[in-house]
Amino acid sequence: MKLHDFQPVADNNTEEKKTSVADDESKRWRKGKGAAHRVEERAQAAYSYILEGGTRIQIAQKIVSRFNCSLRTAHDDYKRAMQLLREEQTGTREELLNQLQALRLATVQRALKRGHYQTVATLLGDMGRVIGEAAPEQLALQVPTLDIRIENENQSQ
């Protein structure tokens, strides 16, 4: 019988010896945060550093020193933070546009009651530009053009 073919067998009086992480759950490291949580934490830190100001390299260096990660990982976290910022700005912009339109509409109603027609015209023009009604391409199509050509005759009389 070979030495490595021998399998330990537990008898009734002894317990099987647990030697690896696979055999013994108590040896498994279960404390601390998972990798996904650490990535999210670094991205949130990068986001806050972006809002504080600084260049991309400065922010990446702050992430490296705070989280003890590689510079490449810090740049990846910076990219994630910029994506979060873009998504937030897109959502915020839409909300702000809706709020501005509501304020303009309320102001138009008040200006009409008071007879301030120039204010109404200005506000309605602004509202039209927001929804794309008066886009430069559309205005260019509406304006007629006049072409005048003067042909130079040769003086060969």
The Cβ of residue 47 has, within 10 Å, a number of other Cβ atoms equal to 20
Contact criterion met (CB below 8 Å) for 85 and 50: yes
Q: Vertex 28, ends 23 and 31: CA angle to 5°?
A: 160
Tens digits of pLDDT across the chain (157 residues): 455 555 555 556 556 666 665 666 666 665 566 688 889 999 999 999 988 888 999 999 999 999 999 999 999 999 999 999 888 888 787 788 788 888 888 888 999 999 998 988 888 888 887 777 656 666 666 667 778 888 887 755 5
Look at residue 90 in the predicted model and tell me its pLDDT: 81
Look at residue 28 in the predicted model and tell me its pLDDT: 60
Write the single-letter amino acid at 120: V
Does pTM top 0.75 for this prediction?
no
In angstroms, rounded to a whole number, what is the distance separating the alpha carbons of residues 80 and 25?
A: 35
Distances (CA, A) of 64 to 60, 68, 70, 84: 6, 5, 6, 20
The Cβ of residue 46 has, within 10 Å, a number of other Cβ atoms equal to 28
